[in-house]
Structure 1
Amino acid sequence: MPDVNQAALDFLLTRRSRPAKTLKGPGPDRAALMPILTAAARSPDHGKLEPWRFIVLEGAAMARMAAETRKAGVRLNKSEEDIAKAEHAWATSPLCVAVVEVQKASDKIPAIEMTYSAGAVCLAMLNAALASGWGANWLSGWASHDRAFLTEALGLAENETLAGFIHIGTEGAAPPDRPRPDLDAITAWVSE
């Protein structure tokens, strides 16, 4: 039998994201954020390409992102309700890490594996923030799929896109658990 890290397994079996709208200050300072970023950077990375990078948004950058979101929403003809909802996360969350997927030239590593690695980084960062006692949520949203928003608000290059916004702060309210997948319905056991 392998050695079981029961504490880690228990955490993974009960982990629950915290809605960004329930996050409040304070958020982690740089010293508290570094272990979270370090854990995220230990994600699977075929070819050691590091096909991702981090942009830590805090303080006035959060208000600027709210304004950029509003500007993009108006340009994209989004409803006032959609714009206000997207702005709200920026207005209430004390800190956000933008996980940027960076497509790198490689003869060996397919682009989709770089995308998967960036997604793994998002989940690892979310779990590391939660394990560190912070409230955290992984968001994307309509603005993150708009090239003009990515270029203007975050300064992303053409070979970059957003894998996710990881909002991190103090949990304002614990959400109830949500229904989880029926493992019998999604699992096939193949033995021959």
Structure 2
Amino acid sequence: MTDVIDAILNRASQPRLALPAPDQATLDTVFECAARAPDHALLRPWRYLVIEGQGLAALGEVFARTVDDPDNPLAGDKEKLRRSPLRAPMIIVGITCYKTHPKVPAIEQTMSSAVGLGYVSLALQSAGYGVMWRTGALAYHPLVHRALGLTEDEAIAGFLYVGTAESEKPSVPRPSVAEFVQRWPA
């Protein structure tokens, strides 16, 4: 097998992450990988935010404020939301940047952005880091979007929690290929 196939077959979400986080040289390489995502019409419908240090606490405050948002309150424990970004030493926010194009619908731009974030995840794992991709209601909340500086033409593809895995997570059973692949016509 190749290194790429090995990385994909060994990919696993890592819920317990600690320091160290990737350095700038590693991040530069990782984001170069992201830019290799399929991109119909070369729209480059993505951007990324790297959050660490005090930024994680600030993001936690933003998450906590969603509970009291008068226009769209989230159900949840404020303190738990406040602490949630502190579960990793770094968070990378993948953002889809929608562009108007006659041949490239928004869904294709969403997929391009998500593939780029997936490449970031695989590249980080290949560099020896653990990653957990999270979305949920916070990824879609307007207050979070405003706080992170998203425009009306942008959406969060995911929050990648990044760091060094504290322990090996048990392998998750995967379906056999025969369970989800068919030939057509049969």
Aligned length: 183
1:31 corresponding residue in structure 2: 25
Work out the CA distance in 2 between the residues paired with 1:135 and 1:58.
15
1:89 corresponding residue in structure 2: 84
- Tell me, yes or no, if structure 1 residue 158 matches structure 2 residue 152: yes
1:145 corresponding residue in structure 2: 140
Cα distance change, pair 66–29 in 1 and its aligned pair in 2 (3 A):
same
1:17·1:130 contact (CA, 8 Å) conserved in 2?
Answer: no
2:7·2:125 contact (CA, 8 Å) conserved in 1?
Answer: no
SS of the counterpart of 1:161?
strand
Give me the TM-score of the superposition, normalised by structure 1.
0.88
2:87·2:161 contact (CA, 8 Å) conserved in 1?
Answer: no
SS of the counterpart of 1:165?
strand
The counterpart of 1:11, out of the listed 7, 24, 28, is: 7
1:117 corresponding residue in structure 2: 112
- The offset of 1:86, in angstroms, is 4.0
Give me the TM-score of the superposition, normalised by structure 2.
0.91
- The offset of 1:135, in angstroms, is 0.8
Structure 1, unmatched stretches of 5+, are none
Percentage of identical aligned residues: 30
2:99 corresponding residue in structure 1: 104
State the 4+ residue runs in structure 1 displaced beyond 3 angstroms: 83-89
2:53 corresponding residue in structure 1: 59
- The offset of 1:102, in angstroms, is 0.5
- The offset of 1:188, in angstroms, is 1.0
- The offset of 1:179, in angstroms, is 2.0
- The offset of 1:41, in angstroms, is 1.4
- Bigger helix share: 1
Work out the CA distance in 1 between the residues paired with 2:33 and 2:84.
24
1:122·1:138 contact (CA, 8 Å) conserved in 2?
Answer: no
Between 1:165-174 and 1:69-78, the stretch displaced more is: 69-78
1:126 is aligned with what amino acid? S
1:164 is aligned with what amino acid? G
1:43 corresponding residue in structure 2: 37
What's the RMSD between the two structures over aligned residues? Answer: 1.6
Work out the CA distance in 1 between the residues paired with 2:67 and 2:28.
33
Work out the CA distance in 1 between the residues paired with 2:100 and 2:75.
35
